[in-house]
Amino acid sequence: MEPTWLNTLIVDAEEHRWCTRPNCTTCGAGDLRSCVFSEAMELAGLEVPEPAETSPRRLIETLQPVQRAAVFEQIVRGLRGVDRSAARAGSALRTILMDLHPPLMKWGVPESLSERLNGTFAGQEFDAMQAHSASLADERARRAEYEGPKAVAERREARRVARERRLQQRLEKKTARDKTLVELAALSGMKRLVKIAGYRPLISLESIPDHLVPLDADCRSLDVEAREGLIALIARRRGAWGRLRRQLIALRPESDASSHASFDRSR
- Per-residue confidence (pLDDT) for residue 263, from 0 to 100: 47
User: 226-256 pLDDT, tens per residue?
Assistant: 888 889 888 888 899 999 999 999 988 864 5
**Does the structure show a pLDDT above 90 at 3?**
no
Kindly report the backbone phi and psi dihedral angles of residue 121, in degrees, each rounded to the nearest multiple of 5, phi listed first: -65, -40
User: 172-205 pLDDT, tens per residue?
Assistant: 988 988 888 898 899 898 888 888 887 555 678 8
User: 34-54 pLDDT, tens per residue?
Assistant: 888 888 988 999 887 766 455
pTM, to two decimals: 0.59
Alpha-carbon span 129 to 127, nearest angstrom: 5
- Per-residue confidence (pLDDT) for residue 255, from 0 to 100: 45
- Per-residue confidence (pLDDT) for residue 155, from 0 to 100: 94
